[in-house]
Structure 1
């Protein structure tokens, strides 16, 4: 069944009418509803993913929403099995999944996962209460209780290994970001090691209630981390948090939205189009979406692109290696 143009033209996105391509989409095999896998409440994935799902559902006339998950590693597995249609992941866990090295499915290649569009970089940052007197990574005391986010998340997968490589001795704790922020404030944790898009809601909330230290990597720690892990150098702008007086040195991984490779091409095309053509609306969902722009499609060298997503990018002049199209 094909939709005529008139009903679609009643749907506006930020005051802009849906493009004619949306009216021609073949919806005969579209699901009536969809789920977007995010991460724990209090993190950027949850805010970004839930907002995106609501936008796409509204604009395409579907039922859809975000779902709390364990984050990027679990999202890859859930999309692969078809338990969720869409998800969000970082390039490190994606590379592991494609190599059959996912900690959730050792030995299984998770190859029913396709890239849709670039989201933002995930900085790896460390926060402690100012009262702890921890102002650098080297000052984290032996046996420190460190919260690494949900089990299986990007933060939990990579941050413990990074800190071990930098000589930190710690007790590993897991949980949602909001919960870990509360534990830090209550003295049940010494440090939280975040891997999440900035500003991290849990950190912003902590700043309102307590004095905090946002701890950066020194030059030697940065060089060691870059040498040993699939991350890039990153600078957290001072404007991100009221605590920061100057930019903070960190590392990051790129995030991409993902989709089941067997989803209808027109559905993924429309979801990609709406996202890429409405960056102002995306930024109203979360500030990190300032980098949710087509030019950043080049940062995926790991996952195959869904043919629906690849069609939008190539139609709009963005080159994608044909070998990376499913």
Structure 2
């Protein structure tokens, strides 16, 4: 066979591959956004990171968007205003049940599971100078920041502290702003619910001395009984302020996709995130849990068909009745 003939065949093969790729992407969106949360929180750092990674790898425009967190993300993804988002299992269940405070009565069943992210620990931070070293030390009427309105922390942490008998003055805001208020003495405590290490806490440690307050065994057991959370231990190497692991509780986070997005698009986006964990860990250490074996932590949302196909091809066994459209 002549060299010219070989070159011709190669050109035909390349041309057909390019054509196939173009055909495969014919129904893809031209760009996408990922609903995250406020700046200074883990959602924003993690979500912006994986949005940029997917955009780069798939050769398209995409990025993270500042939002109010899990509750708002469920609404944005359900309506299609955001292609992707991030949520925790508690807010996801409430949204499916029509009790999302953003749109009461609306069952947000067009937000589908995409991939497991990490666990969100619930932890309390105070300035060391405050003398607050335990939940029971929190003074009556303390000014406590619970994060953005409608966030996982704002939805569940006030209830948890009420369960433990804490009487407080509730404040909301982005994590970075609340960190500044704590440092300035405008808040007594911040009740964080975010993947660790939380950027705002790490920044506080650089600027001042803080206490990372753990639950007692009795407090942890009481919270586990009353809320949809799991036991969790914050490793001692997470923060310089910790000398030993800290007892906490946590809730799983999942990436979500609008259920109407093309199967091939979500499949490829899922593959970018899940096929190389080292890249995700480089974005944020919380991504150490962004692994295929954690697919079974979703017991609430229907799976997007594209994501389900990727996981089932990579060791999962997602049942047909948990896949949207089946």
Find the partner of 2:132 among 134, 145, 150: 134
- Of 209, 212, 219, the residue aligned with 1:211 is 209
Q: How far apart in 1 are the matches of 2:74 and 2:310?
A: 23
Aligned CA-pair RMSD: 1.7
The answer to whether the 8 A contact 1:25-1:266 is kept is: no
Gaps of at least 5 residues in structure 1 are 10-21
Where 2:205 maps in the other structure, the secondary structure is helix
Deviations 1:291-317 (A, max 9, x none): 100000000010000000000011122
After superposition, the Cα gap between the structure-2 partners of 1:25 and 1:300, relative to the gap in structure 1 and judged at 3 Å, is farther
Aligned residue number for residue 18 of structure 1? none
Within 5 Å, which residues of 2 pair with 1:195-206?
195-206=193-204
Q: Deviations over 1:262-299 (max 9, x none)?
A: 00000000011111101000011001000100000000
Distance apart, 1:105 and its partner CA = 1.4
Tell me what 2:55 maps to: 57
Aligned-partner Cα distance in 2 for 1:73–1:323: 25
Q: How many Å separate the matches in 1 of 2:271 and 2:13?
A: 17
1:1-326 equivalent positions in 2, closer than 5 A:
26-326=24-324
- TM-score, reference length from structure 1: 0.93
Aligned length: 311
Asked if the contact 2:292–2:314 (Cα under 8 Å) also holds between the matched residues in 1, the reply is no
**Does the 8 A contact of 2:121 with 2:196 survive in 1?**
yes
Q: Is the 8 A contact 1:5 1:23 kept in 2?
A: no
Q: 1:40 to 1:246 in 2, by over 3 A?
A: same
C-alpha contact 1:124 1:193 (8 A) present in aligned 2: yes
SS of the counterpart of 2:94? helix
